[in-house]
């Protein structure tokens, strides 16, 4: 478990951020939470006016050749724009925005490295927007739970051991000594 800033025991209003969502708040007792695997969450914060926001995207961009109508809430390219625009609409200044990035794990060694692609996209997007990344916990093969207090810019990131890659050997099947039926 890693902490960026101390979390107090003060009662908080927890808002879960699901895939395809972006939320912004300046509430001093608001905490955004999400759970990530290959998805990436971006936490943005403007320290001068104490406002922050979080998104949670499943994939970086639609496949090549997709129409602009295919840019929806599943894609980072859509949710990054949505989050930044919502921050600006609520008084944040782009020059003051600071970012935290989390997720981008590759949970199953046998599947495409979607997490790696999501993390690379998030870095590239923020660099092109000239938004500084102040903290990140990306990659690996473990899921993460993120708690973000947007008004204070505080983040808590906890990793969850991935049992999918910890032991990829097949489970041994018990042998049957009686009967003609084998269960598997």
The count of structural domains within the chain is 1
Indicate whether 52 belongs to any domain. Answer: yes
Q: Give the C-alpha separation, 50 to 63, whole Å.
A: 36
Rg of the chain in Å (alpha carbons): 20
User: For residue 131, what is the domain's CATH number?
Assistant: 3.30.1330.200
Per DSSP, the chain holds a count of helices (H) and strands (E) of 3, 10
Q: Phi, psi at residue 165, to the nearest 5°?
A: -100, -15
136-154, pLDDT tens digit by residue? Answer: 999 999 999 999 999 999 9
pLDDT tens per residue, range 97-146: 999 999 999 988 777 899 999 999 999 999 999 999 999 999 999 999 99
Give how far Cα 120 sits from Cα of 11, 31, 32, 162, 169, Å. Answer: 36, 26, 23, 22, 30
Q: Record the pTM.
A: 0.80
> Can you give the pLDDT at residue 55?
97
For residue 127, tell me if it sits in a domain: yes
Checking if the pLDDT of 183 tops 60, the result is no
Q: Are 48 and 97 in contact (CB under 8 A)?
A: no
Establish if 173 belongs to a structural domain: no
Give yes or no for residue 170 having a pLDDT over 70: no
Instruction: Tell which residue, 110, 134, 11, 125, has the closest CA to residue 57.
Output: 125
Asked if residue 177 is part of any domain, the answer here is: no
Burial of 180 (0-12, 13-18, 19+ CB in 10 A): exposed
Could you tell me the residue range of the domain that residue 75 belongs to?
A: 2-166
């Amino acid at each position: 478990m890693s902490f960026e800033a101390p979390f107090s025991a003060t009662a908080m209003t927890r808002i879960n951020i699901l895939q395809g969502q972006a939320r912004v708040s300046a509430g001093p007792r608001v905490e955004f939470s999400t759970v990530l695997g290959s998805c990436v969450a971006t936490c943005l914060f403007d320290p001068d006016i104490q406002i922050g926001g979080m998104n949670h995207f499943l994939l970086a961009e639609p496949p090549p050749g997709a129409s602009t109508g295919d840019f929806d809430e599943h894609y980072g390219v859509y949710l990054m724009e949505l989050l930044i625009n919502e921050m600006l609409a609520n008084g944040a200044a782009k020059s003051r925005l600071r970012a935290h990035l989390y997720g981008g794990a590759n949970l199953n060694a046998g599947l495409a490295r979607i997490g790696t692609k999501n993390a690379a996209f998030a870095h590239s997007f923020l660099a092109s927007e000239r938004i500084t990344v102040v903290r990140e916990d990306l990659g690996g093969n473990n899921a993460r739970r993120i708690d973000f207090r947007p008004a204070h810019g505080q983040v808590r990131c906890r990793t969850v051991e991935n049992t999918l890659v910890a032991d990829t050997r097949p489970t041994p099947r018990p042998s049957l000594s009686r009967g003609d039926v084998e269960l598997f």
